[in-house]
A = this chain, B = another copy of it.
Amino acid sequence: MDSFAARLDEVAATKNSMVCVGLDPDPRRIPIDDVSEFNRRIIDATHPLVAAYKPQMAYYEALGIPGLHALEDTIKHIRDVAPDVLIVGDGKRGDMGPTATAYATAMFDVWDFDVVTVNAYQGSDAVEPFLQYPGRGVFIVCRTSNHSSRDFQDLRIAEEGKPHLYEKVADAAERWDIGGNIGLVVGATFPMELRLLRADHQTMPFLIPGVGAQGGDVAEAVRAGADGNGRGMLVNSSRGITYASADPKDYARYARLACGSLKREINMALESTVGSPE
């Protein structure tokens, strides 16, 4: 079976897209009441344009067990209409030993995600059980897109070169990788850090949130985050796509337009760098 990194590369090449659409249904913002139906229409309108969907677990859990049934419907619908598209389970789980094993069971065996986000504060124990699934992957939370990511991730470590904590996390992630199953979450809102991490980790896939509503510059992030082949990443937008219109009659059409426009913006940024010296 292909590694997760190879699968990501293949879908990005086949679809000519590195767009990841975040499916984060907030009941105060979605224009229709039915979460499954809301997601279904977004998926139907956008799947030819995307490499991945990323349901954020928190939004489904906040709706209680009915929310988790909506997540189940959503995953099934993606598999039905777009079996080539990857599904990222964004739960940032992180625990130890048998508990981490139970989380891997939940995210891979129960929910059937292709790749999940994991918080590695507890060290290698938190990640190891997720590496036992051939073809599946883990994006380790490294440098997040929020302002208060500075609180800990930017701390400098007292050793040679005074690396930041997020650099230590990235180094450990690359060390723990067993054949293309570990990537990093790096926010588009920090393009300098993104560039630095790509220079140090040339082949790891990056999940890049923070464009769109969070204000990260797409072209800058893409140029900083792409690997040597101009791929190796998923660029995620959630609210910028799913809430492009608040009108129940046309939100899916506007989601498709926003998705197409993000796809073009990413691809143009890459074309303009191919062959050009940095």
Interface residues of A (CB under 8 A from B): 24, 26, 56, 58-59, 61-65, 68-69, 72, 92-100, 102-103, 105-106, 109-110, 119-126, 141, 144-153, 155-159, 162, 165, 168-169, 172
Q: Given A61-B106, A105-B62, A26–B98 Cβ distance below 8 Å?
A: yes
| Distance to closest chain B CB from A52 (angstroms) | 18
CA distance in complex: A188, B144 (Å): 30
Q: Is A165 in contact with B162, judged by CB distance below 8 angstroms?
A: no
Cβ B146 vs Cβ A165 within 8 A: no
B148 close to A122 (CB less than 8 A):
yes
A-B contact pairs, 14 of them (CB 8 A): A24-B98, A56-B102, A58-B103, A62-B106, A65-B69, A96-B149, A119-B119, A121-B141, A123-B149, A125-B147, A125-B148, A151-B172, A155-B157, A158-B158
Are B59 and A102 in contact, with the CB atoms below 8 A? yes
Q: Which of B26, B99, B162 is close to A102, meaning CB atoms less than 8 Å apart? A: B26
Interface majority SS on A: helix, strand, loop or mixed? helix
Chain B residues whose CB sits within 8 angstroms of the CB of A144 once the complex forms: 96, 121-122
Q: Is the CB of A94 within 8 A of B96?
A: no
* Contact present for B96 and A61 (CB under 8 Å): no
A121 touches B152 (CB 8 A): yes
Q: Which of chain B's residues have a CB closer than 8 A to the CB of A64?
A: 106, 110
Pick the contact of A92 from B94, B102, B150 — CB < 8 Å? B94
A117 CB to closest chain B CB (Å) equals: 9
Whether the Cβ atoms of B162 and A158 lie closer than 8 Å is: yes
Instruction: Determine the residue in chain B with the shortest Cβ distance to A124.
Output: B148
Least distance between A148 CB and chain B CB atoms (Å): 3
- Most chain B Cβ neighbours within 10 Å, of A98, A100, A120: A98
A156 and B163 alpha carbons, distance in the complex (Å): 11
A198 CB → nearest B CB, Å: 21
* A141 neighbours in B (Cβ, 8 Å): 121-122
In the bound complex, residues from chain B placing their C-beta under 8 Å from that of A97 are: 146
Known: A58-B102, A92-B94, A97-B146. 8 other contacts (CB 8 A): A58-B103, A58-B106, A61-B102, A62-B109, A62-B110, A92-B95, A96-B149, A152-B169
